[in-house]
Structure 1
Amino acid sequence: MSHITNTLSSLSASATDEGSSTLRSLNRDWAVLCESTRAGDAVAHWSHEHLHFEGARTPQDVVDRITGLFRRGAWEQHDQAMLFLLRRVQESGSDRDLAWCTAARVMLPKAVSMAKSQQRDGIRWDDIVSSMFSALFEVVGTYPLERRPRGVFANIAMDTLVLAQKTLAADYDNRSVLQEIGDTLLPLAGDRAAALLPSVGPDPATQAQLADCLVRAVELEIVSRDEPELSSDDPRAELLSLVMWAVDIQALKISDAQRIASYYLDSSATPERTPRTRRSMGSEGARLRQRASRAVRPLREAALQTRRSAA
């Protein structure tokens, strides 16, 4: 009974938490989707195909129907309704993305509740939210329909929590590694072989170095052509300089440099914008984390080797 009570309370968790820019973005996108004529047409078809969606006109109507089944404890009907959406997610129909977003939306309050349980010192709330939702979208898109047709809500929730915890651990482990590498190599900034920036105020030489670093990064397709200009007080400058140094000494492959940059760099100076790998919130986000994690390893080894050589 306590399990059911806890789960029901999680359905009441706020889905409009203003403390997360990722959640605000998801809510804006959902509002637009619910106003979409195309989405309304797809829901109209669903209302004729599934008994519990009868009369539904918008994606939010579908979410409300499924949530209502859960609140009433109609577990079998709830599983059937969720499986209806999940099957469409794994098919190639025109309503695939709509079904994906709708199934994820059903789980959103639970995801928010689980994200709150993962709050730790030193981890940004929005990073926790982003990791949780990235994991949720991947789990929804890969749910084993035939093997786990019962307890769909609980299965998705547990799989999401496990995946989010793994990706958060890998994410913050490697962020700290990047910071450690940068701190270690900073004394070598005077060596032209190590193109790291000295931690001093901006001057023409520094700005020229930044511009050259960005141009070479664009030429090697490590960053896109619309990457904003760098400044000496921009955290991107340290990271990009570090990555380009590793490329220059052939300690890092171009492909690995691209993975690190695509995950750890933000393409905008706007504080409210989340990193580019988290904007889509699809399964690719978790894969990019894993690739970035692997790509950091040769960078760490290069830093250690440089420290030994400089000693």
Structure 2
Amino acid sequence: MDAAYVNVFSRLNVEWEWLCAQDGNAQRVCGWLVETGVLDAAKAPEDLGALLDVLEERSLREGHRFSDVWLDLLLQHAGRGEELAARVVVQAMLPAAVRMATRSVRSGEEISEIHQVVVAALWQAVRSYPLSRTAWKVARHLQLEMWHHTSRDLKREFTSAGLPLDERLAGELTARCDPAAEVHASLLEAAAAEAGLVGGVDGARGELVELLVWALEQKVLSHGAAAAIADHYREDAPDDRTAAQAAGMSPAAVRQRRSRAVRQLRDAAAAQWAAA
């Protein structure tokens, strides 16, 4: 393995171990989290490394809604000059940076230079994170910012040498670098299957399915109404005539049922979903 590659990431890990060994660091971060109700004081670990492990494990179990809370809280402190808060976020995002660095290497490029660029991009994404942004999929937004800085700097470094940068990596990287998002997608797939909502949960459809699952849990929609929406708004959806024949209804009745379901969903959930 390239020595410089080891140094750029292992140096951060060594520094992290040093921070974990310093008295008071875990207590400071726990104080922020306990004060805002993210953690129970009785269950807060006394070690900084163990604290980050607890946060990441809960993020894997509970999805981005939990990670949004603690990442946004730390970013708010980082934005007010708390270096320790910024460092915790950087450590949390380091696995994503490693994956991004590995997938960003092109033939003819120096691996060590690529990794230096990605680490610098990670720090920049954390330090420049907009404090006014709504806390929604924070890890994903950090990764997008990290990719933005990485791609810009790699273009500046290597385009002059005639080395192309594949922009399609942006979507691949952000989809694969967020463990909480991956677990959330798996849970959503299971919930959709249990509810009988077919058609996948990728991209924008995932947000629709998540909304429909919520509507079923809150009893805003019946299963039939939710299925009417889910079946229509998918890539391989049948036209209304085909759907009507399968359901033993007229095309007009199918459209009417779907429109009624959309109105119910909009009236019950639009304000809450928009706020989220």
Q: TM-score, normalised by structure 1?
A: 0.46
Asked if structure 1 preserves the Cα contact closer than 8 Å seen for 2:125 and 2:145, the reply is yes
**What's the Cα RMSD here?**
2.3
1:137 to 110, 113, 123: 123
**Which 5+ residue runs of structure 1 have no aligned equivalent?**
1-16, 178-311
The number of residue pairs the alignment matches comes to: 157
Q: Which amino acid aligns with 2:117?
A: S
Q: Which amino acid aligns with 2:77?
A: R
2:70 is the counterpart of 1:81: yes
2:114 to 111, 128, 135: 128
Asked if structure 2 preserves the Cα contact closer than 8 Å seen for 1:66 and 1:106, the reply is no
The Cα of 1:47 is off from its aligned counterpart by 4.6
Asked if structure 2 preserves the Cα contact closer than 8 Å seen for 1:104 and 1:140, the reply is yes
2:22 is the counterpart of 1:33: no
1:59 to 48, 56, 59: 48
SS in structure 1 at match of 2:131: coil
User: What does the per-residue CA deviation read over 1:207-260, in whole Å, with 9 as the maximum and x for residues that have no partner?
Assistant: xxxxxxxxxxxxxxxxxxxxxxxxxxxxxxxxxxxxxxxxxxxxxxxxxxxxxx
Q: Which amino acid aligns with 2:80?
A: E
Q: Which amino acid aligns with 1:41?
A: Q
The Cα of 1:85 is off from its aligned counterpart by 0.2
SS in structure 2 at match of 1:52: coil
The Cα of 1:46 is off from its aligned counterpart by 2.8
User: What does the per-residue CA deviation read over 1:113-139, in whole Å, with 9 as the maximum and x for residues that have no partner?
Assistant: 111110111222222111111111111
1:167 to 127, 134, 153: 153
Counting aligned pairs with the same residue, the percent is 22
SS in structure 1 at match of 2:24: helix
2:31 to 42, 45, 54: 45
**Which 5+ residue runs of structure 2 have no aligned equivalent?**
163-276
User: Segments of 4+ in structure 1 off by > 4 A?
Assistant: none
User: What does the per-residue CA deviation read over 1:124-182, in whole Å, with 9 as the maximum and x for residues that have no partner?
Assistant: 222211111111111111112323420101110111012111112212356x59xxxxx
CA distance in 2, matches of 1:66, 1:136: 20
User: What does the per-residue CA deviation read over 1:276-299, in whole Å, with 9 as the maximum and x for residues that have no partner?
Assistant: xxxxxxxxxxxxxxxxxxxxxxxx
CA distance in 2, matches of 1:132, 1:91: 24
CA distance in 1, matches of 2:114, 2:46: 33
Q: How does 1:1-311 map to 2 (within 5 A)?
A: 19-54=5-40, 55-92=44-81, 96-173=82-159
**CA distance 1:52–1:158, shift in 2 (3 Å):** same
Q: Which amino acid aligns with 1:135?
A: A
User: What does the per-residue CA deviation read over 1:176-205, in whole Å, with 9 as the maximum and x for residues that have no partner?
Assistant: 59xxxxxxxxxxxxxxxxxxxxxxxxxxxx
CA distance in 1, matches of 2:115, 2:51: 24
Return the structure number with greater relative CO, CA threshold 8 A, min gap 6: 1
The Cα of 1:20 is off from its aligned counterpart by 2.4
Moved more, 120-129 or 25-34: 120-129
Asked if structure 1 preserves the Cα contact closer than 8 Å seen for 2:29 and 2:85, the reply is no
Q: Which amino acid aligns with 1:97?
A: E
CA distance in 2, matches of 1:68, 1:18: 30
Q: Which amino acid aligns with 1:144?
A: P
Asked if structure 1 preserves the Cα contact closer than 8 Å seen for 2:125 and 2:146, the reply is yes
**CA distance 1:25–1:154, shift in 2 (3 Å):** same
Partner of 2:179: none
Greater fraction helix: 2
Q: Which amino acid aligns with 1:33?
A: L
Partner of 1:256: none
